[in-house]
Amino acid sequence: MSLVFVKNERGFTRVGVVVSKKVEKTAVGRNRIRRRVYEAIRLNMDKLPKETDYVFVVYSKKIANIPFSELEENLGLLVEQSKM
């Protein structure tokens, strides 16, 4: 997974999740991955810097099956690296 981010002038944070057809062929599978990532983000929204737009790009099908705590940890690492 990777993270693309940019500061915005809107005064609030926006988040998007992209899952390609190359990762999962069926829409059901892509949406399941997307929902898991959105839920992890929702639970940790207070850790995201304000006034920033984030796009999480999923490159691996493994995201659908890893434990939720590991998914949250991976997202946290991406956000920490973005603060540098």
Query: For 4-57, what is each residue's pLDDT tens digit?
Result: 989 889 888 899 999 999 999 999 999 999 999 999 999 988 888 888 899 999
Cα gap 20→58, rounded to integer Å: 7
| 39 touches 71 (CB < 8 A) | no
The domain in which residue 76 lies consists of 2-82
**Phi/psi of residue 31, each to 5°?**
-70, -35
| Residue 21 belongs to domain with CATH number | 3.30.230.10
User: pTM for this one?
Assistant: 0.87
DSSP output for 18-52: EE-TTT-SSHHHHHHHHHHHHHHHHHTGGGSPSSE
* Cβ neighbour number for residue 15 with a 10 Å cutoff: 16
The total domain count for the chain is 1
